[in-house]
């Protein structure tokens, strides 16, 4: 969840402000003691906490701060994830993880950019945030270790399904180049029975490549089946009042879709209102209005891509399996039978559906007209 920032430190109190510009080999630490104080930048080796502590001690001396002064830090969310955030908290440093896309930038076509400048800019923005400016940036809601680890299940399944689709498409293309066809039933050494456009068997090299592809497809299918079985097992073991059990009790919501919603943060992000859910999902209309000129720029693609894909699929399932619900009736009334209009309208339905599911698992409000199955 991207949340509004709130001041946790008064700029009138002695404080050391630190911004981490993270790199693979080196970290840049931009440090200052408050507004109007020119930041200093120090370079340390990545993940070397003793070097970080020495740099902080040097900054305290440089700015005339006591050894016990509070330290506030920040860094941009990226490849390092959240382990640095947890390490900083363990050392008594109040840290903020910043959404990189929300940081203001100079709009010149070409601007000077270095890690040193980025660290200086980030630490001055941190001072502004702690001073109470609400719109400097947006912060990322950090999951617990368990919640972060739990996301790997559905993400791995998504990757495996994509690999399976890619490999099947490649095999089809190999057959097309020789005039062959992808058989519907593929058992045993099926590639030996395929004939090319002239009725002759496929060349040995092509058959060998297809055989290796078939082995990889079998392995992928086995791994996908294992993950599906794990998801179904989690549903069977879930407590009746748990979020997972509640979601799969809705007709049209399967274990895979429910797992993605929960693992991407439908519950653990602790949304306070529907706008925060919409901010995570995206799919919002983008309007351009300047002077007398006003035009619609379409739908924003900003948001959680995995959550967007899952909610679109859930929305189509909802229309099919929940025909009497208020959401489905709204969809039919506004977009009718036209195919193009329905493809646009399903995005709006997905946004409404996600908000309705959040209210269902967090407040117990069943979507209007929805049908619940007898058992989860």
pLDDT band per the 50, 70, 90 thresholds, residue 217: very high
Residue ranges per domain, the chain?
2-142, 149-236, 244-363
The per-residue pLDDT for 4 is 42
pLDDT digits (tens, 9 = 90+) for 259-286: 999 999 899 888 888 888 888 888 777 7
Please write the tens of the pLDDT for every residue from 14-35: 899 999 999 999 999 999 998 9
Position 302 scores a pLDDT of 78
pLDDT grade for 5, boundaries at 50, 70 and 90: very low
Write the pLDDT tens digit of every residue in 95-129. Answer: 999 998 888 777 776 677 888 899 999 999 999 99
- Enclosing H/E stretch for 207: helix 204-237
Query: What's domain 2-142's architecture?
Result: 2-Layer Sandwich (3.30)
Distance from C-alpha of 137 to C-alpha of 308, rounded to nearest angstrom: 23
Q: What is the b/e burial string over 66-75, where b = at least 16 CB atoms within 10 angstroms of the residue's CB? A: eeebbbbbbb
Report whether pLDDT(160) > 50.
Answer: yes
> What are the tens digits of pLDDT across the range 282-326?
877 777 788 778 887 777 777 888 999 999 999 999 999 999 999
> With b meaning 16 or more CB within 10 Å and e meaning fewer, what string describes 3-16?
bebeeebeeeeebb
Evaluate if residue 85 carries a pLDDT over 60: yes
What's the average model confidence in pLDDT over 128-143? 89
């Amino acid at each position: 969840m991207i949340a509004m920032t709130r001041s946790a430190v008064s700029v009138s109190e002695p404080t050391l402000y630190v911004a981490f510009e993270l790199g693979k080999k080196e970290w840049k630490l931009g440090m200052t003691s408050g507004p109007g104080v020119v930041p200093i930048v120090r370079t340390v080796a990545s993940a070397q906490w003793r070097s970080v502590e020495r740099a902080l001690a040097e900054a305290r001396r440089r700015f005339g701060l006591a050894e016990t002064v509070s330290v506030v830090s920040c860094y941009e969310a990226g490849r390092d994830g959240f382990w640095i955030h947890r390490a900083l908290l363990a050392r008594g440093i109040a840290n903020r993880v910043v959404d990189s896309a929300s940081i203001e930038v100079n709009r010149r076509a070409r601007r000077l950019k270095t890690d040193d400048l980025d660290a200086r800019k980030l630490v001055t923005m941190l001072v502004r945030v702690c001073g109470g400016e609400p719109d400097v940036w947006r912060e990322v809601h950090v999951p617990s270790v368990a919640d972060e680890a739990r996301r790997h299940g559905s993400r791995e399944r998504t990757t495996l399904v994509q690999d399976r689709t890619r490999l099947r498409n490649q095999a089809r293309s190999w057959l097309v180049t020789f005039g062959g066809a992808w058989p519907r039933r593929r058992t045993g050494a099926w590639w030996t029975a395929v004939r090319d456009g002239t009725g002759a068997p496929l060349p040995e090299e092509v058959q060998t490549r297809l055989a290796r592809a078939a082995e990889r497809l079998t392995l992928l299918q086995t791994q996908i089946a294992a993950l599906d079985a794990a998801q179904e097992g989690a549903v069977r073991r879930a407590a009746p009042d748990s979020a997972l059990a509640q979601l799969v009790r809705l007709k049209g919501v399967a274990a895979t879709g429910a797992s993605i919603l929960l693992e991407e943060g439908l519950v653990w992000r602790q949304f306070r209102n529907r706008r925060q859910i919409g901010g995570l999902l995206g799919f919002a209309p983008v309007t351009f209005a300047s002077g007398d000129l006003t035009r619609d720029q379409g739908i924003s693609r900003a948001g959680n891509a995995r959550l967007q894909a899952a909610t679109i699929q859930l929305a189509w399932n909802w229309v099919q399996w929940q025909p009497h619900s208020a959401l489905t009736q709204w969809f039919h009334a506004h977009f009718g039978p036209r195919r193009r209009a329905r493809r646009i309208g399903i995005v709006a339905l997905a946004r409404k559906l996600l908000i309705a599911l959040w209210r269902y698992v967090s407040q117990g409000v069943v979507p209007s007209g929805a049908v619940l199955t007898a058992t989860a």
